[in-house]
């Protein structure tokens, strides 16, 4: 029985996993940041401090698992907000030390990729994965559950961050992605044309130009239809993501592609990617909707692979914000 903790950003999550099934999963999404357009790091850490002990007890209770049943303890180690990471990482190491159990620190982006295993469908390697979150927009060549290579990343904002920022500009709450998605459903995606960004390296991303284009369109036209603006902007952003992912698949001769992370919860993006991939005869793996945004189940699955291969983490280790 593995206990996993996720506190990388603003979600406090605890999971119990037996190597095959999620036995319990307690998730608290912090709501205090909603009206601030983004996460306030100090507040996020404090919320984790307050919520985490109870979340661990609740996960044990729901699973009807005792402390004696635990065999391994895992936690997100980074990247993320350092203060937030420290809460979960230190809590997990303290349990491991007190119970004399192995500890496994998990890379947050590897965990997002591991969320694919929670779909219940067979997963075949290798594949190219797009990790699209509030902090990262990274393309990886995933060789097996324990090995992935970075092939491109954003040069400025992450796509989720860009969604959160434009949402804040037009008065929508944080997180902006779901709010924009809802508004865009009533809009015309062809109302405005936004240029596709260019980067020096073919598999890198850039969202700053698209963000500025959104702001100019909004400021120059005070009576603009917000649903049309959001629908058109989403269309441009998602066309860009899908195209990059497919280009990478072609270049790396991959027959399989994957989409994970909070932005992968977007239905339009899922549809667009599935359609394009089908046309090109590629197999698509989508993170299950319940596990796109931060959660502890993905930490558990990623940790399990490390556990089986004996890749334990020293208790004398610190979390990291970047990398």
Please give the residue ranges that form the binding site for ligand KG4 (CB under 6 A): 9, 133-135, 160, 163-164, 175-178, 181, 261-263, 265-266, 293-294
- Which residue lies nearer to ligand KG4 by CB, 95 or 285? 285
Write each residue from 277 to 296 as x if it is in contact with Zn ion (CB under 5 A), else as -, in one continuous string. -----------------x--
> Structure tokens of 176?
């902006």
Number of residues that bind Zn ion (CB under 5 A): 2
Residues 109-138 interacting with Zn ion (rule: CB under 5 A):
133
**Dist CA 250 CA 94 (whole Å):** 46
- Which residue lies nearer to ligand KG4 by CB, 2 or 163? 163
Q: How far is the CB of 9 from Zn ion (least distance, A)?
A: 7
State the binding partner of 95 from ligand KG4, Zn ion, none, CB within 5 to 8 A by kind: none
- Which residue lies nearer to ligand KG4 by CB, 181 or 235? 181
> Structure tokens of 285?
């793996």
State the binding partner of 37 from Zn ion, ligand KG4, none, CB within 5 to 8 A by kind: none
**Helix pair 159-169, 226-251: axis angle to 10 deg:** 170
Q: How far is the CB of 322 from ligand KG4 (least distance, A)?
A: 13
- Strand runs labelled E in the chain: 2-6, 11-17, 22-29, 72-78, 103-107, 127-132, 137-144, 147-153, 256-260, 283-286
**Dist CA 243 CA 269 (whole Å):** 11
Q: How far is the CB of 68 from ligand KG4 (least distance, A)?
A: 33
Residue 11 pairs in a beta bridge with: 29
What are the helix and strand counts (H, E) for the chain?
A: 9, 10
In the complex, the residues that contact Zn ion under the rule CB under 5 A are 133, 294
């Amino acid at each position: 029985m593995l206990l996993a903790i996720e506190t990388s950003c603003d979600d406090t999550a605890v999971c119990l996993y037996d190597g095959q099934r999620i036995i319990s999963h307690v998730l608290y999404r912090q709501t205090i940041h909603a009206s601030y357009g983004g996460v306030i790091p100090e507040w996020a850490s404090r919320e984790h401090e307050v919520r985490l002990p109870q979340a661990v007890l609740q996960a044990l209770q729901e699973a009807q698992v005792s402390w004696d049943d635990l065999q391994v303890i895992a936690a997100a180690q980074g990247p993320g907000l350092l203060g937030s990471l420290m809460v979960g990482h230190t809590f997990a190491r303290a349990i491991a030390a007190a119970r004399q159990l192995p500890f496994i620190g998990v890379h947050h982006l590897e965990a997002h990729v591991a969320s694919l295993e929670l779909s219940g469908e067979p997963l075949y390697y290798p594949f190219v994965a797009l990790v699209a979150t509030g902090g990262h927009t990274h393309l990886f060549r995933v060789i097996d559950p324990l090995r992935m290579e970075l092939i491109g990343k954003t040069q400025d904002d992450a796509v989720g961050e860009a969604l959160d920022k434009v949402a804040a500009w037009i008065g929508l709450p944080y997180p902006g992605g779901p709010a924009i998605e809802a508004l865009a459903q009533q809009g015309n995606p062809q109302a405005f044309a936004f240029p596709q960004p260019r980067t020096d390296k073919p598999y890198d991303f850039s969202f700053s130009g698209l963000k500025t284009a959104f702001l100019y369109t909004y400021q120059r036209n005070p009576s603009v239809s917000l649903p049309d603006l959001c629908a058109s902007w989403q269309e441009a952003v998602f066309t860009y993501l899908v195209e990059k992912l497919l280009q990478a698949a072609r270049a790396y001769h991959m027959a399989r592609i994957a989409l994970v992370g909070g932005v992968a919860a977007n239905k339009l993006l899922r549809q667009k990617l599935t359609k394009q991939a089908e046309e090109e005869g590629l197999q698509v793996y989508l993170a299950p909707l319940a596990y796109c945004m931060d959660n502890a189940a993905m930490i558990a699955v990623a940790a399990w692979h490390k556990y089986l291969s004996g890749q334990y983490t020293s208790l004398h280790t610190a979390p990291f914000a970047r990398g």
